[in-house]
Structure 1
């Protein structure tokens, strides 16, 4: 049976692609806690049978996030090329504040333990099965029950490797969440799922800060224990956030049936471990940055801004981006957020991505591995396609490494050149290695597969985002789009 939900009437989608529904002007400041907001303790959520991985029936057909308090002043994005942020770029101006300090009050953490996984809506579920199982060596661990499929009008399969969980769903007829998402977009990420310590605590803080829950906390049971969860709307296009607290619950999602053939430990020959970070693209990222800081309680971590005109000033065409990374220091969950940069705004690969996705949304997920050399070599042997890296990158690599302050790297540069793996870091023996798969539409030769892609990363002491590789990713996508445009 489906979870009981509050009755909400569907509203018409507002005109304009990025239009938002108006919000009442009288709002509490975003930083107040639940007690200050006068919220009484919520009654225990009702225990109900397990349902399904997606949103339950009655879900609104569109969502918008209300405006944040208008007193917040957004600082200009720095034009530096990749630097850590020590002062919040979204604080409220205060001439009496200490110079270099953070004016914004540090919010109480939501109690996030980790980013559990993502829910991906696809046109072709069997194609996804081949990609995750046959190419990436993920284990097919769970699938939706007939009851869940009848209720949610979508079929779901879970793929796992290490502590990474990917749920793919495809429509069964019309009216379900998957069908609504795919009626507006190509394949893409519709939900990001977080595991939290105390679901009641998380719910109270989000609601007190002006977050928009889709539903109340629902509780599910199986023979192992309980799972409690709720979802909220976000400024990330049609992507929602789901929060879960597990207490012995065996299934990955409510209403899941164990596949039984394999487990994450039995597969995973490439050593996938966790989701390192999520990167999303926006036409304008300020609303998402403000929301991440004042609702989610994330903190600014890193930023970069550059343009091709910085390198070739007289070029008649070009592209650029601005990016800021927000993170939860307690869990280490990181979100990189991009927007196009003028001039040639429309030519930016960020804008191109948004046009292909038909809105803002998740661009890629970075997956950590234990040994990137072995992983990439094995994936290439299975004909997995990666974004190209020019040979000149490796010609200049020793000089770049020296300028970054890295004493030495363990890997042979010629082997990195052969596998097209990128290197970056900022001090001594701390660095990272990364590579980017081609976008899904390129992997499958099908525009309906969408522009989402995966990054593979191995961190060797460096916990940040290397500016050199961030730019290398951008230029790699630019080259790929230019090649496709010339066909």
Structure 2
């Protein structure tokens, strides 16, 4: 299983398309208009998004936006055997929203219900040569969707995992319990046994948790962020900062505590850029040389809901094979949580936090 496409429901698909082009370096590749919905398809490298807005009240986008602010409505997965995946999903309780269909080019897909109001389009995997690829030189640095994070209500984490385990065969991979003096969250990282999909689920462990803030702003459970994987995070982030994309801030003290170790992995020039761009750094102790570099944007809509992550998993050679950090680092997760807490403080949802 692999991520295929993320579908956003927005207020104005064309304005959103233009924002993604101007601030994230995407390019427009298709535009579709039905009687009730405007749909724009965009991509950068191997990352594809759909942006849909309502033309009439009959549009499914209109119904979604009556329940939630703009956000992710559908996470699509590529699967090897669509017929068996859909059959298993149906037997285990998923609603089949769209039965298997096929276009003239032989592409097969179906749509099932997901957790809450989320849906999942399932696309039968085809040869890589048949997958649309960007021709833009600028776009070759995003190599795919690394993970997508689902936020659920308190005490729903186990239920959400059990649902995805039964419906799509996701397996537990990592657990995190992140706490500060002010708030906390619990996270379970799900992965699929066949492929690259990582699908973390978060729940709040305090009334003022960033997860609870999301749930309140989103008016329910949903996708909190999408991580885009790159093999050149310094180049990508440098470009995006020049385009004016706003990122979460990291205090200088974070880097002073890491400098000695970081300089055994990075050149002095690279380390300076990591600090200048405010990129988080972590390591996989069980895989010497493997390094995790991450950075997070501010929310992309008016509400503190959806944001993006850019992630690079540094590759190392082990016994003649290329390997990269497979999961997530506790240090980076804690640093992200604290960075979002500082943004909550600015919005007046937490007590004062000193930014050094």
TM-score (norm 1): 0.65
Q: Which residue of 424, 449, 466 maps to 2:282?
A: 424
Q: Does 1:204 align with 2:87?
A: yes
Q: Does 1:391 align with 2:252?
A: yes
Q: Does 1:322 align with 2:186?
A: yes
Name the structure 1 match of 2:317.
none
Name the structure 2 match of 1:297.
169
SS at structure 1 position matched to 2:284: strand
Q: Which residue of 92, 109, 124 maps to 2:12?
A: 124
Q: Residues of 1 paired with 2:98 and 2:339: CA distance?
A: 41
Structure having the higher Rg: 1
- Bigger helix fraction: 2
> Cα RMSD over matched residues?
2.4
Name the structure 1 match of 2:200.
336
Q: Residues of 2 paired with 1:249 and 1:455: CA distance?
A: 25
Name the structure 1 match of 2:124.
245
Q: Which residue of 294, 314, 319 maps to 1:434?
A: 294
Name the structure 1 match of 2:336.
473
Q: Which residue of 360, 368, 372 maps to 2:229?
A: 368
Q: Residues of 2 paired with 1:251 and 1:139: CA distance?
A: 19
Name the structure 2 match of 1:8.
none
Q: Which residue of 284, 289, 306 maps to 1:452?
A: 306
Cα 1:347–1:267, aligned 2, differ >3 Å: closer, same or farther? same
Name the structure 1 match of 2:318.
none
Q: Which residue of 207, 219, 228 maps to 1:358?
A: 219
Q: Residues of 2 paired with 1:270 and 1:136: CA distance?
A: 13
Q: Residues of 2 paired with 1:437 and 1:172: CA distance?
A: 30
Residues 46-86 of structure 1: CA distance to partner in whole angstroms, max 9, x if unpaired? Answer: xxxxxxxxxxxxxxxxxxxxxxxxxxxxxxxxxxxxxxxxx
Residues 394-453 of structure 1: CA distance to partner in whole angstroms, max 9, x if unpaired? Answer: 011136x48xxx953356333211110010012221111010011013xxxx34xx6101
- Bigger strand fraction: 2
Q: Does 1:192 align with 2:72?
A: no
SS at structure 2 position matched to 1:295: helix
Count how many residue pairs are aligned between Structure 1 and Structure 2.
336
Cα 1:125–1:211, aligned 2, differ >3 Å: closer, same or farther? closer
Q: Which residue of 95, 106, 109 maps to 1:226?
A: 106
Q: CA deviation at 1:141?
A: 0.6
SS at structure 2 position matched to 1:339: strand
Name the structure 2 match of 1:70.
none
Q: Residues of 2 paired with 1:425 and 1:180: CA distance?
A: 43
Is the Cα contact below 8 Å between 1:270 and 1:374 reproduced in 2?
A: no
Q: Residues of 1 paired with 2:267 and 2:247: CA distance?
A: 23
Q: Which runs of 5+ in 2 are unaligned?
A: 315-323
Alignment map for 1:35-114 (pairs within 5 Å) = 112=1, 114=2
Q: Does 1:280 align with 2:280?
A: no
Residues 262-288 of structure 1: CA distance to partner in whole angstroms, max 9, x if unpaired? Answer: x72225347111000001111121211
Residues 108-148 of structure 1: CA distance to partner in whole angstroms, max 9, x if unpaired? Answer: xxxx2x11111000112233122221222212111114xxx
Is the Cα contact below 8 Å between 2:45 and 2:139 reproduced in 1?
A: no
Q: Residues of 2 paired with 1:248 and 1:465: CA distance?
A: 30
